[in-house]
Each structure stands twice: as C-alpha cells, then as structure tokens.
Structure 1
Amino acid sequence: MTTPTLITIAPTGAESAKSEVPALPVTLDELVSTARECEALGAAVIHVHIRDAEARPTLDLGRLRDTVAALREQTNLIVQLSTGGAVSDPESDRLRVLDAEPDMASCTMGTVNFGDDVFMNRWEFIVELHTRMRERGIVPEYEIFDLGQLTTLRRLLDKYGPPAGGHVHVDLVMGVPGGMPGTAEALVSCLRDLPDGATFSATGIGRSTIPVMLASLSAGGHLRVGMEDTISYAKGQPVESNMQLVARAVGFARLAQRPPMPAGEARALLEVKSRG
C-alpha cells in the first residue's frame, strides 16, 4: 500500500503585510474559514501564526487561546501553534505560546539567518521548549532550516529523551535566504541524518515550492504549503488563496499515488492525543 500524504497548511505567517497581500487571512474569522476550506480539500494540520487588530504579528495569549478553541470547535484539524512568532519576539513570549494548549507546536532546532534578520534559537531555549512540550503532552514538530540542525535534534533526543507521544516528526524548511536551498539534493542530504523512525514534511519557500513538493513526495515525505511560505502561484501570478495552494499539493499527491491523509490517520501517525 502507498503511504498517504500528510498535508499541513501554514496560512498566515509573520512576514507578509495584509496591505501588500490582501488575501492573507489575519482575523479569527478569516483564519477559521480558511481552515475549514483547506480541511475539505485534504489538509490535516494547520500551522498557526496570529495577528492583532491591526493585522500585526502577535503572540497574545488570549488571542492564541481563542484561536485554538475556535479551530477545535469548527474543524477536525490538528492545531499546531508556532513558537517562532516573529524574529523579534522574546523567548518568554514564545514559551508562553504553550499555555494555549495546542495539539502540536513548532520547535526550531537552531539559529539561522533569516533574510536580513536573525532567527535566534539558543540551545537552552530549545531544551526548555522540548521539555515543556513533553510535560504538557504537546507534540513538537522539529523545524529544520539547515543540515546541522538535524545533528542538534539527535543531541536533544539523546540527552533529554523522546518527545510527547514518542514519535519524531520534522519539517524541512527549505529555501529561506540564510538556510539550506530548496533543492532535491539538499532534501536527500537531510534524509540520511533523520532520527530512526522519524517522519518528515518539507516546505519550499517562494520559488522552491514546487521542486521541494516533488522531491518530498518522491522520497516518501509529506508536505507543508501555504501563504506563510508562498505568495506567488507562478511567475507574475499572485496566490489567490491558501486553498489554491492546498489544491495544488493535493493534485501532486494524487499524481504520486499518495492521496491526502485524513486528520484521524494523521493523529495516529504523529501520536497526537485528543484534547476535546
């Protein structure tokens, strides 16, 4: 039997401005509507960044809790909150994200240049995130921006034990200026350093979206797509909606004879417990 494809939708992010990308979902209503439509197309996980009343990135705990509650009430998606926030967010705010009690949360495995900025992830902060998630039963998605961060992940697991649920899932974030390139060669290089038994998704930033999707599918991996990572559907053609990107990912997955994985199967694969 072929392995179904786990599809994650990352609809908003913290980088694009609503004024420049009008289709970006920034209100709670817009986010929930997007989530419902993407789930209907085949997404199983939603990777969430939120915005404030002025559409600016925020880690406000009240808004995060409201977002988690609304997504749980109106979808069956696995709710994964970003602990990265914006590159300027302090560690204390990023740790507090876990107080919103998501199903999953991101855990980035190292510091990386992020365009003109620096996305800081100290070793002590990584350990604290990993430990708190395990104590609260929140399943991490280990975000990998460069090959060496897989070595950091192995060090983390060897020293501090497995994550909540016991299953290791990573997302290879490829094509960020300052990180690894969004190429098939880079993806294959990562595979040999994955922890034993781990699964992976891959995210291609910008123009690397399609090459990374095809490489991940051919290597047995899964997909993350969305307007956090891609705002151009093709050269000179802006993305119209997150649903457009999910539909393309679903089409590629079906061509690879690896249809979308339902949320229930995704929960079993990732060892995500139900929180009601």
Structure 2
Amino acid sequence: MSRFLRPPAGTMITVAPTGAESRRADVPNLPTTPEEIAAEAAACERAGAAMVHVHVRDAEHAPTLDLPRVRETLAAVREACGLVVQLSTGGSVHDPLDARLAVLDAEPDSCSLTLGTVNFGDDVFMNPWGFVVDLFRAARERGIVPEFEVFDLGQLATLRRLLDREGLPAGGKVHVDLVMGVPGGMPGTADTLVACVAALPPEVTSWSATGIGRSHLTVLAAALAAGGHLRVGMEDVLVWSRGPEGAVPVGSNADLVARAAGVATQLQRPPLPVAAARELLGLDAARASVA
C-alpha cells in the first residue's frame, strides 16, 4: 500500500533551535547558551514540539563539540522539559569526524546521522561511507536512535546499502528526515519531496521533512499532505514572512512550532505528545537493548 494512503493520525514536530551557521551577532534572539537553549526547548514543548535537535555553542556563542559543554547543554534541556533530546553529530562543517563521533558519549536519546557528503553553500559537509558506518554502529552500541538525514535523493540509496549491511538501528525503527533547500542539496519543492517518499526503503517506519529558508512553508505543507512529520526552527529559517515592506524576522522558535502545530491541527494531524513520539522512534526499546 502506498505511504500516501494512510497518513499518521498525529504529527511529530521536531524543533531545531540553534544550528551551527547563524552568528549571534547577526541574530540576537538566537538561543546559544545552555540556559537559553533549555528555556527555548521548554517553550517549544508547550507550543507542540515533541523532540529538540540540539547544536551546542561555547561561551563566545561559536559552535562547539566540547564534550563537557555538550553534556551541560543536554542536562539543562532535560531539566527544563520532557522533550526527546536529539544531538547533532554534524556539528559545523569544519568539525573533524572523530569529534563528531565522540559527542555520543553525552548519551542523547537520538542523534542525527547524515547519509552522505554534500555541498553546503560555499563549504562541504563531509560524511564519507566509513564514517556513516562507524556512527551507525556507535549509536547502536549505546542504545541511541539515529535520525537518518537525507540532503539529496541519492542518499536514500546509501540508506538501502547501510540497512542491507548493518541491519536495523537501536530500537528497530527507521526514521528519516528529508533536509530540503540547502544550497548544494536537493531543492525544497513538493515534486522533490514526492520523489523522495517514493524512494524510501520499506524498512522506514516514519519520516519528516525540513525546509531550509524560503522553502520552509512549501516543505511544511507538502510533508503534511504526504503523511510526513515536521522539523522547524531557527537553525533552518530566520524569516517569518515577506511582504511589500520587506522580510519579517522570526520572533522565536516557539512561534515556528506553534505555526506548524496550527497547520497540522487544521489538517487533522495534531501534534504528537512526547510519549507517542518516543514510541514512534523506538526509544524505550533502544535503551532496553543495552540495559
């Protein structure tokens, strides 16, 4: 049966509040300290989010994979809210591969796992095959559920290769996020999203989509229509709307979550509570596998 015929009853909303690209000097309301990220996560939970995708910043607001700082940030988020905590293993495009693997020692519930190297604006986001396998194995050994990030259609063939070689991840579920609209990656269009959904391996149990920049609302609407879940946040979009008087900046991550939750509710796919998101992702089974 087509994935389009039975959309899920609810929508898991992930919020990506910070990212590694925007500078605090350019975006004064970007949360960068552990306390700010935690407060933003709590506000997003109230607005309808179920998972938070965390990038960590240092005391000067620059991206960092420093493990004590990562642990501090994750602890602050967990103290402030009940969201599923997903840690970015991408860091910034300049971070070395060994440091990106090491952040799993902070023991998040979930981690991102990008399935291939991609041009990222003027830079290159490196994810060679050996690193993909190492990250998959390290996450499974720790009972951490990966979210497979796809920046281009061909990376779904890599997912097929990975599952054939390594089997299922911790928890037995396979969740994919389609990251669309990155300069150098696949475009953020409805046609591209439909092509990706058609190419998902049958082992995929859930998927979401992220629209970067101007593609944000197009991807949001297309993902909901196609039965997917959503990722929103100031990592991905900083402009709320555009009009005759210019661009209106995003006020907060909670505003983006609330808008996504409102659209999802109107389409009779209201936000999933955290407990349902944990079940969707197989988090409890993943933890039990290493207990």
State whether structure 2 residue 262 is matched by structure 1 residue 256: no
Match of 1:230 among 217, 220, 237: 237
How far off its partner does 1:35 sit? 0.5
1:7 aligns with 2:13: yes
Q: Following TM superposition, by how much is the alpha carbon of 1:156 offset from its aligned partner in structure 2, in angstroms? A: 0.2
**TM-score normalised by the chain length of structure 1:** 0.98
What is residue 200 of structure 2 aligned with on the other side? Answer: 194
Is 2:207–2:229's contact at 8 Å kept on the other side of the alignment? yes
Instruction: Compute the displacement of 1:67 (Å).
Output: 1.6
Task: State the distance in 1 between where 2:228 and 2:192 align.
Answer: 14
Deviations 1:59-85 (A, max 9, x none): 010011112222222211000000000
Code of the residue aligned with 1:123 in structure 2: it is W
Q: How far apart in 2 are the matches of 1:186 and 1:263?
A: 29
What pairs with 1:123-142 in structure 2 (closer than 5 Å)? 123-142=129-148
User: What is the rounded CA distance, in whole Å, between the counterparts of 2:55 and 2:261 in structure 1?
Assistant: 23
In structure 1, what residue type is equivalent to 2:231? R
- Report if the CA contact (8 A) 1:143-1:170 is conserved: yes
| Offset of residue 3 of structure 1 | 1.4
C-alpha separation in 2, matches of 1:197 and 1:131: 18
Alignment of 1:101-250 (within 5 A): 101-198=107-204, 199-235=206-242, 236-250=247-261
Closer, same or farther in 2 for the Cα pair 1:141/1:2, shift >3 Å?
closer
Q: Which residue of 1 aligns with 2:3?
A: none
Which whole-Å CA distance do the structure 2 matches of 1:104 and 1:82 have between them?
9
Partners of 2:160 and 2:233 in 1: how far apart? Answer: 28
Matches of 1:74 and 1:55 in 2, distance apart?
20
CA contact (8 A) 1:107 1:140 kept: yes
Query: Could you tell me whether the CA contact under 8 Å between 1:168 and 1:195 is conserved in 2?
Result: no
CA contact (8 A) 1:2 1:257 kept: no
CA–CA distance in structure 1, aligned partners of residues 22 and 41 of structure 2: 19
1:2 positional shift: 5.4
Counterpart position of 2:4: none
* Contact 2:18 2:31 (C-alpha < 8 Å) held by counterparts: yes
Could you list the runs of 5+ residues in structure 2 that have no partner in the other structure? 1-6
Contact 2:210 2:219 in 1 (8 A): yes
- Sequence identity (%): 62
Length-normalised TM-score, structure 2: 0.93
Note closer, same or farther for the CA distance 1:195–1:17 as it changes in structure 2 (3 Å cut).
same
Q: 2:281 aligns with which of 259, 270, 274?
A: 270
Residues 145-189 of structure 1, C-alpha deviation per residue, up to 9 Å, x if partnerless? 000000000100000111000100000000000000000000000
Task: State the alpha-carbon separation in 2 of the partners of residues 246 and 180 from structure 1.
Answer: 24
What is the alpha-carbon distance in structure 2 between the residues aligned to residue 219 and residue 117 of structure 1? Answer: 31
Contact 2:174–2:203 (Cα < 8 Å) also in 1: yes
For structure 1, which segment, 200-209 or 67-76, has the greater mean C-alpha deviation from structure 2 after superposition?
67-76
Q: 1:98 Cα shift?
A: 0.3
Tell me the matched-pair count: 275
**Counterparts of 2:8 and 2:51, CA distance in 1:** 20
Q: Does 1:69 align with 2:75?
A: yes
* Structure 2 counterpart of 1:208, one-letter code: S
State the partner residue of 2:94.
Answer: 88
